[in-house]
Amino acid sequence: MAHTLESESRKLLGRLRDTMAEDAAGQARLDKITHLTADSMGTEVCSIYLFRDADTLELCATQGLNAAAVHQTRMKLGEGLVGRVARSGKTVNAADAPSEPGFRFMPETGEEIYSSFLGVPIQRLGEKLGVLVVQSKQARQFSDDEIYALEVVAMVLAEMTELGAFVGEGAAMEKRHTQAVLFRGSTGQEGATMGHVWLHEPRVVVTNLVADDPETELTRLQEAVDRLRVSVDQMLAGASIGEGDQVEVLEAYRMFANSKGWLRRMEEDIGRGLSAEAAVEKEQSQTRARMSQVTDGYLRERLHDLDDLSNRLLRILTGQGRETGSEMPENPILVARNIGPGDLLDYNRKLRGVVLEEGSVGSHAVIVARALAIPLIINAERITNEALNGDQILVDGDQGIVHLRPDDTVVNAFRDKLAMQAKAQERYSSIREAECVSADGQRIHLLMNAGLMADLPSLTSSGAEGVGLFRTELQFLVRNKMPKRTELAEIYARVLDAAGGKRVVFRTLDIGSDKVLPYMKPTEEPNPALGWRAIRVALDRPGVMRMQLQALIRAANGRPLTLMFPFIAQYEEFIHARAELEKVMAREQKLGHTVPERVEIGTMLETPSLAYAPQRFFDEVEFVSIGGNDLKQFFFAADRENERVRRRYDTLNQSFLSFLRLVVERCETSNTPLSFCGEDAGRPVEALCLAAMGIRTLSMRPASIGPVKSLLMRYRLSEIRDVIEEAFARGEQSVRGPVMDYLRDNS
């Protein structure tokens, strides 16, 4: 019996394929499919409903219902049984449809006389496209085999919809991937840019959905799965011990690759007439549909693993690699579900922007994008389903908005915005070589933050006077293995060479909290930002910091060296860190290495506690740099990574500025140079206020130097300071309003 049904199903698919091959209009094809399906399933009715917009379905073809209802009957998501299938993405099989909860009577279709109803979702890779329904007068429950058969038809329909086989009149039949779509995500890195989509993982296109010979397809699938298993085993063998997370992921891969259920379902689909790749894709679609319903983070990740495996399998079967042969478009903007920092770096400086479906503000990809100063948007949900290679795309990193295939008015408005930015850039380049001196003659030093070799060309192009913060952890984060000392020494030497004598402040490894090394055993901490991180790790397990200090000393090879310890919360930590350095220096000297002619040792001030350290701390430390990103999160108790609170408190809040005033005073008493290297230093108005409060060295993203310098040179710091102090005296919560008024009145 099952066998007969299978061959029925194969026959139906064969006929569908022939229909597709015919040179017919979209509507005629849909009509024919409903006819063939009803005929093959022995039902009076077969209907196809497609989404005309995100929550409306439209009857687009029918065999058995009133033909006049086609393109007239519509329903909302969740409305009636069809709407229920669409909303839940699940099959509805009802012997007595009118008595089902939610049944909606649609007189225009003559539906009431049909008792049984079977509806399956038409979806592709988790994207809902419509609903396929069969109905019959006889009150009966459809069998599992019949459900399967209808699902297979729905899958073919989904593929055909994707390939534009049913294009016709009306929104529901518009060609897919042609409309303008707006995505609202979150800002990973500011900046506006326009260009063309470059998919990191291009979709594999399956064109041969139906196959005549199941035996051949089963063999192809089996061979492909064997190859997949071998490659997963090889990956697992290649991952060295200690690469905790990676091994866990690969183990999950192996489990899926050997999962009997996964394989069996695909084999059954082949038995029903699908090609091997279509069977994989059908399974993948179901995984994606599940993925959208799962909220548990761990489970979602595992479903993603399964999704990745399906992609690998599809590539083996179709021979389509990541390299699809298509050329990278002009001004490429990378679109991906997510991307590792290494992959992002591999693109070098080619990318104009990056848009991710996932990611978080602190994720490694975001850290790298920041370092590369590429506008980046995260959480742009479902964009990989919509975007096609080469599509025009506008990225507004300031607002967290992406326009895909925008219409002309949007493009023109965006062009204006970019033109204004370009004009400002011109203005900045004209003052690039100028010293930054305020209108009342105060000298302010503007430095840049860096962390990758890719940053260093900006040292000249931005006009930075040096590197005020070199985040050494980036070199650790972009690798999947702990870098070797020689490797690091080489990189640091190249950094110093590129700086050509300008001062570079190397911050020792700042890991933990948001920066978790992929190869370090993750430690479960209730609150990582307040946990075992940065200097705390370095002092408790000094091996890595010692190795890094050696690399830095060797890189300097006699040249002066500037080091900064992160996250020092009390005097003693500074003393211990400095002692470690002295030990390493002595050892290096003993080993015959040239030690730097001078080592300058500073610390970051990232916890309020350090501002109240004993006087001897300020006397002994050679410079202090305020890490405003962390300092602010601890000062206001507002997580810098939590979208809900991270912008809640203004940097120009009176409490925060008063606190900074205290730090300035403490440094002034001991003549300790003070700088500020958090993100706020790169925001012009904030920078102006910081300078007015007495912080005369600011380190920021290279792209911010121009705008900051331009503003600082136009105003008198003493007057800004007066505005701030007066606002304090009036008890204003934030000085932003009064400062902005002053800037406007004196522009």
Q: Please name which of 132, 147, 277, 167 lies closest in space to residue 217, comparing C-alpha atoms.
A: 277
Q: Which of 402, 690 has the CB closer to ligand PEP?
A: 690
Q: Which of ligand PEP, Mg ion, none does 707 bind, CB closer than 5 to 8 A by kind?
A: none
Strands 181-184 and 561-565 turn out to be unpaired
Instruction: Mark whether 677 is an active-site residue.
Output: yes
630 contributes a contact to Mg ion by CB under 5 A: yes
Which range touches ligand PEP (CB under 6 A), out of 272-280, 543-551, 574-582, 625-633?
A: 625-633
Instruction: Please report where in the chains the tokens 């190397």 appear, as a residue.
Output: 506
**Which SS3 state, helix, strand or coil, does residue 683 take?**
coil
Question: Which residues are paired to 123 by β-bridges?
Answer: 128
Q: To the nearest whole angstrom, how small is the minimum distance from the Cβ of residue 450 to ligand PEP?
A: 12
What is the distance between the alpha carbons of residues 369 and 183, in angstroms, rounded to a whole number?
20
606 contributes a contact to ligand PEP by CB under 6 A: yes
What is the distance between the alpha carbons of residues 122 and 119, in angstroms, rounded to a whole number?
9
List all residues 6 or more positions away from 275 whose beta carbon is below 8 Å from its beta carbon: 206, 208, 209, 210, 211, 217
| Residue 165 structure tokens | 């086989």
Among 271, 628, 707, 738, binds ligand PEP (CB under 6 A): 628
Q: Which of Mg ion, ligand PEP, none does 628 bind, CB closer than 5 to 8 A by kind?
A: ligand PEP
List all residues 6 or more positions away from 164 whose beta carbon is below 8 Å from its beta carbon: 175, 176
Q: Which of Mg ion, ligand PEP, none does 471 bind, CB closer than 5 to 8 A by kind?
A: ligand PEP
Label residue 450 exposed, middle or buried (CB < 10 Å: 0-12, 13-18, 19+): buried
629 contributes a contact to ligand PEP by CB under 6 A: yes
Give the H/E segment covering residue 19: helix 2-21
Q: Please name which of 92, 87, 102 lies closest in space to residue 141, comparing C-alpha atoms.
A: 92
Strands (E), 85-233: 92-94, 116-124, 127-136, 181-184, 186-189, 192-199
Q: Which of 289, 369 has the CB closer to Mg ion?
A: 369
273 contributes a contact to ligand PEP by CB under 6 A: no
Q: Please name which of 126, 264, 721, 705 lies closest in space to residue 447, comparing C-alpha atoms.
A: 705
**Whether 705 contacts 697, CB under 8 Å:** no
678 contributes a contact to ligand PEP by CB under 6 A: yes
- DSSP characters for 314-355? HHHHH---S--SPPPPSSEEEEES---HHHHHHTTT--SEEE
**Which SS3 state, helix, strand or coil, does residue 218 take?**
helix
Which range touches Mg ion (CB under 5 A), out of 27-35, 205-213, 599-607, 735-743?
A: 599-607
364, 436, 667, 689: the active-site residue: 364
46, 60, 436, 677: the active-site residue: 677
Q: To the nearest whole angstrom, how small is the minimum distance from the Cβ of residue 103 to ligand PEP?
A: 57
Q: Which of 292, 629 has the CB closer to ligand PEP?
A: 629
Q: Which of 532, 728 has the CB closer to Mg ion?
A: 532
Q: To the nearest whole angstrom, how small is the minimum distance from the Cβ of residue 659 to ligand PEP?
A: 14
The contact pattern for ligand PEP, residues 509-528, with x = CB under 6 A and - = no contact, is: -x------------------
89 contributes a contact to Mg ion by CB under 5 A: no
**Which SS3 state, helix, strand or coil, does residue 115 take?**
coil
Q: To the nearest whole angstrom, how small is the minimum distance from the Cβ of residue 712 to ligand PEP?
A: 20
Q: Which of ligand PEP, Mg ion, none does 517 bind, CB closer than 5 to 8 A by kind?
A: none
473 contributes a contact to Mg ion by CB under 5 A: no
Which range touches Mg ion (CB under 5 A), out of 52-60, 122-130, 260-268, 622-630?
A: 622-630
Strands (E), 442-571: 445-450, 467-471, 504-507, 561-565
Among 202, 627, 682, 707, binds Mg ion (CB under 5 A): 627
630 contributes a contact to ligand PEP by CB under 6 A: yes
471 contributes a contact to ligand PEP by CB under 6 A: yes
307 contributes a contact to Mg ion by CB under 5 A: no
Q: To the nearest whole angstrom, how small is the minimum distance from the Cβ of residue 698 to ligand PEP?
A: 12
Question: Which residues are paired to 604 by β-bridges?
Answer: 625
Q: Please name which of 595, 597, 625 lies closest in space to residue 610, comparing C-alpha atoms.
A: 625
Q: Mark out the alpha helices in 89-202 (DSSP H runs).
A: 144-162
Q: Which of ligand PEP, Mg ion, none does 677 bind, CB closer than 5 to 8 A by kind?
A: ligand PEP
Q: Which of 34, 651 has the CB closer to ligand PEP?
A: 651
Q: Which residue is nearest to ligand PEP (CB)?
A: 627
Q: Which of 13, 681 has the CB closer to Mg ion?
A: 681
Site for Mg ion, residues 184 to 223, rule: CB under 5 A: none
455 contributes a contact to ligand PEP by CB under 6 A: no
Site for ligand PEP, residues 476 to 515, rule: CB under 6 A: 510
Q: Which of 471, 666 has the CB closer to ligand PEP?
A: 471
Query: What burial letters (b/e) apply to 354-371, b meaning 16+ CB within 10 Å?
Result: bbbbbbbbbbbbbbbbbb
Q: How many residues bind ligand PEP (CB under 6 A)?
A: 10
Q: Which of 195, 627 has the CB closer to Mg ion?
A: 627
Q: Which residues bind Mg ion (CB under 5 A)?
A: 606, 627, 630
Q: Which residues are catalytic?
A: 364, 677
Q: Which residues bind ligand PEP (CB under 6 A)?
A: 469, 471, 510, 606, 627-630, 677-678
